[in-house]
Amino acid sequence: MAKRGLLVLALIVGGCNSNSTSKVSPGSDAGTASSGSGGEGTGGATGTGGATGTGGATGTGGATGTGGAAGTGGATGAGGVSSTGGVSSTGGVSSTGGVSSTGGATGGTQGDAAVDTRLDTRPDSPADLARDLGSDTAATSDATTSDGAPCPYTGHVTYTLAKSAAPTTAEQSAYALITTAMDRALYYYNCYTNITKALNVSYNSTVATADGNINGSIRFGGTQYMEYITAMHEIAHTVGIGTASNWRSFVAIPDGGSSGPWTGTNANAQLRAITGVSTDTLTADTQHFWPYGLNYTSEVKSEADVVDHCEIVVAIRKDLGLQP
């Protein structure tokens, strides 16, 4: 796939402590991740206290358990089996009486901070208006890029959306928004990565924004975060971004600093292939990377940005020694 040039004007690093809840803003490049208690260790170490069950105290930054194994006899959720190339079909696992929890998950749920205010001057990829509007649900569209070319990869990222047996109006609305967001996010991950991951997705009104855990759980709270860019950011956390046990070993954070250069060779080579600048280097903190981390929805100026995000995630996983 041909690469585009990139003009990087500035990188503004927003602090994000290891116990913060997610902060993927739908339209701002400045913000602070809210802090709280939780058991996330440095670089995604095992969270303490087990997973959070429905109705329990949510440990921000700790291991989350919502969206885990569902009970029987409930309403069928959307998600589950994915078609070739990516968007999930219907047929998710059903639940009874709400989202059930899983216990003792490892890896902390990652918080999300603003990091990137660059200007992207590249032209957009050929548009797929139906998909952009969220109305393209045909499985046959998933095997090709927006310009009709075959997808460069065949990923196997799937999801199950846990649903209440008797959903309220607010829950029904949330489920619809989450389904649209996750379907589009999986289109990109399954077209532009070779990653295999089964995700358990849930709506939790106590979550201020959205969060993702290496155990595969993603929780959405505020409806403004139920869109595909946030979903892609949280999927990245579930596949090792900021959550892999060896994440910090690749981040050269100076004494007293909050971020530093990513030292992995694969990811930096991929970044330079995208930008065409031989000296470009990714920057990272204890949870995130930039550019192309999709830490804010305003980072996305064109479809090329989310494609580049996928390519950087694949390269970072190579640095981390993670298999597809």
List of residues 6+ apart from 258 with CB closer than 8 A = 13, 15, 16, 285
**Lookup: tokens for 60:** 């921000």
What mean pLDDT value characterizes the chain?
70
pLDDT one-digit tens code per residue, 246-284? 999 999 999 999 999 999 999 999 999 999 999 999 999
In angstroms, the CA 13 to CA 286 distance is 12
**Helix or strand run (H / E) with residue 210:** strand 210-212
Q: What is the pLDDT of residue 147?
A: 80
Q: What is the pLDDT of residue 324?
A: 76
Q: Is 247 exposed, middle or buried (0-12, 13-18, 19+ CB in 10 A)?
A: buried
In angstroms, the CA 35 to CA 8 distance is 30
Q: What is the pLDDT of residue 21?
A: 32
pLDDT band at 217 (very low <50, low <70, confident <90, very high): very high
Q: Is 206 exposed, middle or buried (0-12, 13-18, 19+ CB in 10 A)?
A: middle
Give CB contacts under 8 A, 24+ apart, made by 258-263. 258/13, 258/15, 258/16, 258/285, 259/13, 259/115, 259/283, 259/284, 259/285, 260/284, 260/285, 262/289, 262/316, 262/319
End-to-end CA distance of the chain: 20
DSSP 148: S
Among candidates 202, 243, 201, 233, which has minimal Cα distance to 63?
Answer: 243
What strand order describes the sheet that includes 260-261? 260-261, 283-284, 289-290
Asked if pLDDT for residue 131 goes beyond 90, the answer is: no
pLDDT one-digit tens code per residue, 277-310? 999 999 999 999 999 999 999 999 999 999 999 9
Q: Is 298 exposed, middle or buried (0-12, 13-18, 19+ CB in 10 A)?
A: middle
pLDDT band at 138 (very low <50, low <70, confident <90, very high): very low
pLDDT band at 62 (very low <50, low <70, confident <90, very high): very low
Average pLDDT of the segment spanning 9-35:
34
In angstroms, the CA 274 to CA 297 distance is 20
Domain ranges of the chain: 78-122+138-320
| Contact present, 131 and 146 (Cβ < 8 Å) | yes
Higher pLDDT, 75 or 299: 299
In angstroms, the CA 269 to CA 220 distance is 33
| Choice among 93-107, 137-151, 292-306 with the minimum mean pLDDT | 93-107
pTM (2 decimals)? 0.63
